[in-house]
Amino acid sequence: MTDESEPGHSESELLKMLLDVRDVPCPVCGYNLRAITSTNCPECGAKLDLRVGSTDLKLGPWLAALLVVGLPLGFLVGAAIIGLAVGIVENNLEDLTIAGGLLIPVIIMAGILAMLIRRRRSIWCWPRWRQLLLPLLLLITSVVITVVVLAVIGMML
């Protein structure tokens, strides 16, 4: 991150220049860092660096989307592992078939989760209404997949 060969001020000089004129709390302990002389918090010793943030970055809808896909995925993986273990221990082909059948929704949900993580930066740039719609649509998708899986398992038992 720090490139001391760049012309102008180093990152630590820029940090000290900012803190010379601003009241900024230490992100670790909350101590006021105004006019500190090093790049460590004098109160707790935390190493400090200069970053650019954005007040437009609102992660709530994206985290909700991760949750509505991740929770049913965890449930399905758990059910598949239990079905596989029971099928192997009891040498029951029916349980093994159910466990194998759970792989289809697990792969679909894992693919959606991977897409959410891989494309997060483009999702964070979407208009707000679209960001809010995403977890809602994924919740409906997750519920439909889970209900279909439970119905199929119910028919097999």
Please report, as residue ranges, which positions from 32 to 61 form the binding site for Zn ion (by CB under 5 A): 41, 43-44, 46
CA proximity to 102, closest of 80, 124, 75: 80
| Beta carbon of residue 32, minimum distance to Zn ion (angstroms, whole number) | 10
Of residues 27 and 100, the one with the C-beta less far from Zn ion: 27
Question: What are the C-alpha distances in Å from 1 to residues 11, 29, 44, 114, 134?
Answer: 9, 24, 23, 28, 34
Is the Cβ of residue 40 or residue 97 nearer to Zn ion in the bound state? 40
Specify the residue, 41 or 76, whose C-beta has the smaller distance to Zn ion. Answer: 41
From the CB of 80, what's the least distance to Zn ion, in Å? 46
CA dist 157 → 95, 97, 137 (Å): 9, 11, 30
The answer to whether 29 contacts Zn ion (rule: CB under 5 A) is: yes
Binding residues (CB under 5 A) for Zn ion: these are 26, 28-29, 31, 41, 43-44, 46
